[in-house]
Chains A and B, each alone.
Chain A
Amino acid sequence: MTQKITSLYTAQMKMAELIESDYNLLLLFPRFNMELGVGDTTVMEQCTRQGVSPTLFVMMCNIYSHTDYKPTIKEVTQLDAEQLLSYLSRSHIYYINSRIRPIKEELKKISGHCTSSHSAVLQRFFAEYEQEVINHFAYEENTVFPYIRTLMACHKRQQGYDIENFQENHSNIDDKLSDLKNILVKHLRGIGMASETTELLFQIFSLEEDLSRHTFIEDVVLIPLVQHLEKNIYDKQ
């Protein structure tokens, strides 16, 4: 049994030790386009080799593993905003393709054992949820991220938009997922698919937790970083 690491991760740690201390961190690898086969290298060496910012990688790992960790403004403003945006974009694609789709498939399988109207309503409910998430991400990709990129490129503020608008429009996408969880745990009876339903619930619980970390990253890393960029430009103008 490996000792659970209770202090924060650093770039000097061995990558393999990091994974051993919290295997959930493996879920971050596809989002960084990182490959395994890390040998005996440190986090720093592995990140540099694979073209990933070690600062960003370590910060994301700390946020995922240590729920009471919140990076300081100083740490946040040291990040490369473009690296953060591309991490968030890849996360969006990852959630839709690698997490939500499999849940949809599994739910379809289970629904096959319900009456046709129960099956239809369950699948329609999930399709609505999926669309809600797609819209939520699309707003970020099409409105928020381009705004941030303009901010970085021209060092100029766009009229009539700032990151506060994003904070206000940052819609809540947790309700339906939590509803689905309760429907499966409390209300769906007599379909005799215990192992499939359990598997599905594990996927949902894990996605729920992951999405809450994602929202946390947007709230405590992305927004403060952009506010810092905005302030710098405002001060110059």
Chain B
Amino acid sequence: MTNNKRIVIIEPYSMIAQGLRLMIDEIKGYEVSAIIADGHYIERVAPLRPDIVIINPSIIDIKRRGELDELAQRLPGSTFAALVYQYVDPDVLRYFKTTIEISDSREKITLKLRQLLESSEQVTESTELSDREKEILIAVAKGLTNKNIADQYHISIHTVITHRKNLTRKTGIKSVSGLTVYAILNNLIDIKEVE
């Protein structure tokens, strides 16, 4: 078993499906585990548990849009991309995280695949700070070093660094002074404590 991200392509035309497979095979970290060219794809995709499903939306009958909901329910761990080269109803496109176009270069496809998986990891994650992160933030704002913080909370320096990385990711703020501003704006600390 490799760690490659598994992709299923649902596309009626073999020329396009095979071409896309060739491009994806050249991208490190991804593999195409199946190409499905016709209906009844739901039953066939579900057991494959792919990380990414690339679907040409024109394969979906206009009266059976509910199929996409069904597919999403049966594959909670997968993200969906639309493969687009003809007009597609915008209502249908709303079901997809991104669109792959027939004119996309391999670099562009690589980027889109990567972003697909990143964004699926991010949406499940809250940007709210945990209580422990708030404590670390206050300590950082007070000017404590990582070593001081580790001692005070009986945790390893490595854990402090992980908390600090999470603080930066959640708040979008990198500098210590910026984090101090954040702490004061959110009334986690009084300005007198940092002077």
Q: Which residues of A contact B (CB under 8 A)?
A: 117-118, 120-122, 124-125, 128, 175-176, 178-180, 182-183, 186-188
Q: Take A175-B174, A176-B175 as given contacts and tell me if A183 and B181 are in contact as well, using a CB distance cutoff of 8 Å.
A: yes
Measured CB to CB, the nearest residue on chain B to A117 is: B191
Closest 3 CB pairs of A and B: A179-B178, A182-B172, A117-B191
Q: Which residues of B contact A (CB under 8 A)?
A: 171-175, 177-178, 180-182, 184-186, 190-191
> What is the minimal beta-carbon distance from B179 to any residue of chain A, in angstroms?
8
Interchain CB contact under 8 A, B171 and A186: yes
Q: Take A117-B191, A120-B191, A187-B186 as given contacts and tell me if A176 and B178 are in contact as well, using a CB distance cutoff of 8 Å.
A: yes
Interchain CB contact under 8 A, B172 and A188: no
Q: Take A117-B191, A120-B191, A187-B186 as given contacts and tell me if A125 and B172 are in contact as well, using a CB distance cutoff of 8 Å.
A: no
Using Cβ atoms and an 8 Å threshold, which residues of chain A touch B177? 124-125, 128, 176, 179
Measured CB to CB, the nearest residue on chain B to A178 is: B174
Interchain CB contact under 8 A, B181 and A121: yes
Contact of A182 among B173, B180, B190, B191 (CB under 8 A): B173
Using Cβ atoms and an 8 Å threshold, which residues of chain B touch A125? 177-178, 180-181
27 A–B contacts from the bound complex (CB under 8 Å): A117-B184, A117-B190, A117-B191, A118-B184, A120-B191, A121-B180, A125-B178, A125-B180, A125-B181, A128-B177, A175-B174, A176-B175, A178-B172, A179-B172, A179-B174, A179-B175, A179-B177, A179-B181, A182-B172, A182-B173, A183-B173, A183-B181, A183-B182, A186-B172, A187-B182, A187-B185, A188-B185
> What is the minimal beta-carbon distance from B18 to any residue of chain A, in angstroms?
32
State in angstroms the CA–CA spacing of A210 and B173 once bound together.
20
Of B174, B178, B186, most buried by chain A (CB within 10 Å of CB) is B178
Measured CB to CB, the nearest residue on chain B to A176 is: B175
Contact of B178 among A118, A120, A183, A188 (CB under 8 A): A183
State in angstroms the CA–CA spacing of A188 and B187 once bound together.
12
Measured CB to CB, the nearest residue on chain A to B194 is: A121
State in angstroms the CA–CA spacing of A235 and B115 once bound together.
49
> What is the minimal beta-carbon distance from B192 to any residue of chain A, in angstroms?
8
